[in-house]
Chains A and B, each alone.
Chain A
Amino acid sequence: MDFEYQIEGGDFTNAGATSSAVKKILKQLGVNPEIIKRTVVALYEAEVNIVAHAYRGSIIVNLEDHKISIKLIDEGPGIEDIEKAMEQGYSTASQKVREMGFGAGMGFSNMKTNTDSLIVNSSPGIGTTVEIINYF
């Protein structure tokens, strides 16, 4: 099963709407609650990143019998130094993002904690792709 969602950069009103929709689908399918929580927490962090940093993006969710993989592809400034972005406490988030309760440099490490596989690729000036995979 494949699902695709579109995300607008800067649209904080709808930030999290995709994560919410995916959570409902996984619940309906009767996936283990712990796997649901891990997946949607990682997805929500990644979705907020698109809203916070990119111009726009798409989220493609692929569901198989024992695996969920989610690809987040954005058009945006990209990440200059992925290794540094992965460091806990490092953030380039704006004041607005911080006012929302994010931008503490905890997102990527939390995504790592909650995924079986996390792949981040970025081209500065073009955009970033994040792939999240969890098995159940």
Chain B
Amino acid sequence: MKINKIIDLIEGKIVEGEHYFEENITRIFASDLMSDVLTIKTEEPLLLITGLSNLQTIRTCEMSDIKAIIFVRGKKSTEDMRKLAAENDMILIETPFSMYRTSGILYNAGILPLY
């Protein structure tokens, strides 16, 4: 599913990587535990849904080759986070919805889970 469609569904906003709105995402993982995110194994374009908003969230996604992050419950990214995300060609999205609601909507819309 294209990023712009994902944003519509979750009433989200792109805060970094606007030019990647046509990027296609095939799988999603949801976690606040970065140690768990680091165990992921996939070669498909992956998106992370998380409530953890700090620099290590971006670093973890950089190491794990995760293309896009959705921050739930109105969690804001900082300028440092956006800068690091931009260096790594990542997309950052913020949504007011909860992790459960965001996951449910995107699962129902047909994006596959990772496990």
Contact = CB atoms under 8 A, between A and B. Distances in A.
A16 B63 contact: yes
Contacts of B26: none
B64 interface: yes
B95 interface: no
B59 A104 contact: no
Nearest to A106: B35
B62 interface: yes
Contact of A107 (B35, B55, B62, B63): B35
B108 interface: no
Interface in A20-50: 20, 23, 33, 37, 40-41, 44-45, 48
B57 A101 contact: yes
B15 interface: no
B54 to A, nearest CB: 6
A104 B36 contact: yes
A119 interface: no
A114 B98 CA distance: 33
Main SS of the interface on chain A?
Answer: helix
Nearest to A105: B35
A12 B52 CA distance: 15
Contacts, number: 67
B36 A106 contact: yes
B38 interface: yes
B63 A12 contact: no
A15 interface: yes
A110 B37 CA distance: 11
A102 B59 contact: no
A56 to B, nearest CB: 19
Interface of B: 32-39, 43, 52, 54-57, 59-60, 62-65, 80
Instruction: Identify the 6 closest CB pairs spanning chains A and B, nearest first.
Output: A101-B34, A16-B59, A106-B35, A104-B35, A44-B63, A100-B56
Given A12-B54, A19-B59, A104-B35, 13 more contacts: A12-B55, A16-B55, A16-B56, A16-B63, A37-B65, A40-B63, A41-B64, A44-B38, A101-B34, A102-B35, A106-B35, A106-B39, A110-B39
